[in-house]
Structure 1
Amino acid sequence: MIVRRLLFFLNLIFLCYVAQAVFNAPTTFAQSLSLSLSPPILEVFIKPGKSVTQVYKLTNNSEPVIITPYIAMLSSSGIKEDPNFTPENWFSLLNTDIKLNEPFLLPSKQTKQIILRINPPLNTKMQDYYRALVFSTTPSPADNSTISQISENLAAPLIVTVTESGLVPKGAVISKFEVPSFIDSFDPLDIDVEVQNTGRIYFHPNGKIELKGLLGKASYKLIPNVVLAGERKKLITENPVGTTSDNYTLHLSGFFIGRYEVELNFTLDEGKEQITARKTFYALPFKASLVISTLLVLTFLLGKRKKKDAA
């Protein structure tokens, strides 16, 4: 009887705390801002004096927002906000109601077509231009139902190559190719590769890393992420779960034994020139051998001591 009363009072106290938390909790209204943009990236070769257009679809999946489109610098680390940067005047919008650097209202649940025009004049310097079409958003002041005001930037990278012939020299060197000389058979294998773009134009590395050993061979495809001119970038492999790592190009877990050869092979985009490098490493069960050796020594010493005691 006493136990039942105690449980009743404990449940009553618990319900009181829950009711207090529910009825005294502060009420907040957070705005959920959700925009989508397609296509996500534009890569284009263009001759001076020519023109190309790209249609973007900007969709607002939440509350009305005010959006300001502008052209920003693009670097290997992302959008580079530089107050002293003046974009080229041959980037423009063909929309009659939307201009660069001028805000417009995008209502809720609506999609707007944004038409970007790229028209470098005849005297444009022939090189790569790394830019981004950025949409900077602010909540609509007419929407007073939200306490939390959210702003964000949505960007579409623009990789524009201005060239008269369409043939721009490409070049790359392997600046880092790290493979351990020896590993324990039960330890993971970590391979790290970086490339340096020595050409005047961006490229995509198309290739693979191949691993050959006593137990067979395996191939791991490189993800063809863009490498900008002058950029040094880590290569990443396209592999199942457990074979990649944020810190390495290739991270492999498993059992290794004997001599292995690692071969890196890739081309710049769809070019014919191949860039190749090879390294060798050896895998042996060092830790297991140490444990077994220690056990054997201990067994020998114990056996020797027992014989001595028996004598």
Structure 2
Amino acid sequence: MNKMTSLHYRHCESQSAEAIPAITGTPKLLLKSQYRGFTPSGISEPQFEVPKFAMTILLLIIFLTSVICHPPSASASSYGVSLTPPLLRVNIKPGKSITQVFTISNLNNEDKLLVARIVPFTQSDDRGNPSIDMKSNPSWLNYFGLANTHIKLGSPFTVKAKSSEQLILTLSVPANAILRDLYSTLLISTYSNISSPKFQGSQVSAAIGANLLVTLHSDINPPTILKISSILPNTGAFFKVGNIYFADNITPLSFSTSVKNEGNFTSETKGIFKVTGQNNTPTYLEGILPVYVISNTQRILLNSEGRNFSFSPNLSQIGFYKIIVQINSENSHTENSIDIFFFPFKIMAGLIFASIFLTVILRTNKTQKIEYFPIE
């Protein structure tokens, strides 16, 4: 999984619809009744005619089903253009320069006309997807450039079919640059006219991008401020009283949490999710998926497999436990925890119900008991 989700979208300006031939006439469905014996003379065989409006509705349903199940497709993946690497993370001192090579691959059977741009962004969602601003034009965009001879930023270039092209991205930071983070995307746009009858006259554009996370600082790992939000159980059998969770110890639990970067520099989420019992002894450990959290944004924390954290207690685990999330990276340390009490609530509820049920049965049988006395 990429540490920052690569940008990938498409835009359709227009799309002409295929002419649909009109349906003339309404066929009739005749059902002939069957007789085991002969048909008496003078009695005509009954015919059952489906009403015209019913047949029209039936044909309309069949047509709509075929359109919905087999729609014309135009996805950006059909362009077969890829960009690697999808992410660049750089810590650079003012007055220094670096160079990074990106590879654009055209897997199609036709040439592609492309345009490369550097587009800034300042925010991202809790999954790391950036919100780029095509209209923004900060002065630090001049720090970036391309060292290619025939390819320039903002100018179209061609990548031959079944071939690749290298973009040599340069970053030159002035000595008097402000110490801060710079967030942008190397955006590669492609344009193509679709000749298929289903898209005749359409123009489709698509773009892919590589996110650029640049930190300008004299220290390799400038300090950041990370805060882990509340740890919340998602699934399982549990309830909360005050600040303590009570959970059944034979039902698996899943937990969700997130982290917020309140500092001015990007940080990475390296840490663990753990469950501790008495004397803070770990009974379960799970790694946190390392991702970058840019400044002043919040990011969902997931396990190393990209899922919510989970824990499956057993019958022997009864009492108080702690659910702890810790992040220990080069420039930050933070943790949060919740208290949880495990108990076999489901088993106890079953035993209580069974006891009540047996008691009711025994009392019912006792009241229905009949005593017989001898006749004198």
Q: Report the TM-score, using the length of structure 1 for normalisation.
A: 0.79
Instruction: Return the match for 1:204 from 250, 255, 268.
Output: 268
Long gaps (5+) in structure 1: 1-20
Q: Aligned ranges for residues 85-100 of structure 1 at < 5 Å? A: 85-87=136-138, 88-100=141-153
Shift of 1:137: 1.2
- Distance, in Å, in 2 between the alignment partners of 1:90 and 1:54 is 13
CA contact (8 A) 1:72 1:79 kept: no
Partner of 1:123: 176
Structure 1 residue 292 corresponds to structure 2 residue 355: no
Instruction: Return the match for 2:113 from 66, 70, 89.
Output: 66
Partner of 2:97: 51
Structure 1 residue 191 corresponds to structure 2 residue 255: yes
CA contact (8 A) 1:29 1:146 kept: no
CA deviations 1:179-225 (Å, max 9, x no partner) are 56111233331322222212221111211011134897121001111
* Aligned AA (1:197): N
Structure 1 residue 261 corresponds to structure 2 residue 327: no
CA deviations 1:141-194 (Å, max 9, x no partner) are 5x7467546432111000011123445222222232335611123333132222
Partner of 2:284: 218
Instruction: Return the match for 2:336 from 277, 288, 302.
Output: 277
Partner of 2:131: 80
- Distance, in Å, in 2 between the alignment partners of 1:197 and 1:166 is 18
How many percent identity over aligned positions? 26
- Distance, in Å, in 1 between the alignment partners of 2:163 and 2:79 is 13
Partner of 1:176: 230
* Aligned AA (1:289): M
- Distance, in Å, in 2 between the alignment partners of 1:110 and 1:158 is 25
- Distance, in Å, in 1 between the alignment partners of 2:366 and 2:196 is 89
SS in 1 for 2:254: strand
Partner of 1:108: 161
Partner of 1:137: 190
Long gaps (5+) in structure 2: 1-62, 234-239, 371-376
Aligned in 2, Cα 1:81/1:45: closer, same or farther, shift over 3 Å? closer
Instruction: Return the match for 2:367 from 304, 308, 311.
Output: 308
Instruction: Return the match for 1:237 from 303, 311, 320.
Output: 303
- Distance, in Å, in 2 between the alignment partners of 1:135 and 1:34 is 13
- Distance, in Å, in 2 between the alignment partners of 1:168 and 1:30 is 45
- Distance, in Å, in 1 between the alignment partners of 2:132 and 2:183 is 13
CA deviations 1:271-307 (Å, max 9, x no partner) are 5x64233332112222332232122111111111112
Aligned in 2, Cα 1:82/1:30: closer, same or farther, shift over 3 Å? closer
- Distance, in Å, in 2 between the alignment partners of 1:130 and 1:200 is 12
Q: Which of the pair has more CA radius of gyration?
A: 2
Aligned in 2, Cα 1:118/1:223: closer, same or farther, shift over 3 Å? same
SS in 2 for 1:237: coil
Q: Report the TM-score, using the length of structure 2 for normalisation.
A: 0.66
Runs of 4+ in 1 over 6 A off after TM superposition: 28-31
CA deviations 1:239-292 (Å, max 9, x no partner) are 4xxxx64xxx41335646413222222213x35x64233332112222332232
Aligned in 2, Cα 1:165/1:262: closer, same or farther, shift over 3 Å? closer
Bigger mean CA deviation after superposition, 281-290 or 214-223: 214-223
CA contact (8 A) 2:124 2:131 kept: no
CA contact (8 A) 2:289 2:302 kept: yes
Please report the RMSD computed on the Cα atoms of aligned residues, expressed in angstroms. 3.1
Partner of 1:152: 206
- Distance, in Å, in 1 between the alignment partners of 2:191 and 2:214 is 29
- Distance, in Å, in 1 between the alignment partners of 2:248 and 2:271 is 28
CA deviations 1:27-82 (Å, max 9, x no partner) are x8968211221111111112222211100111011132221111112332334342
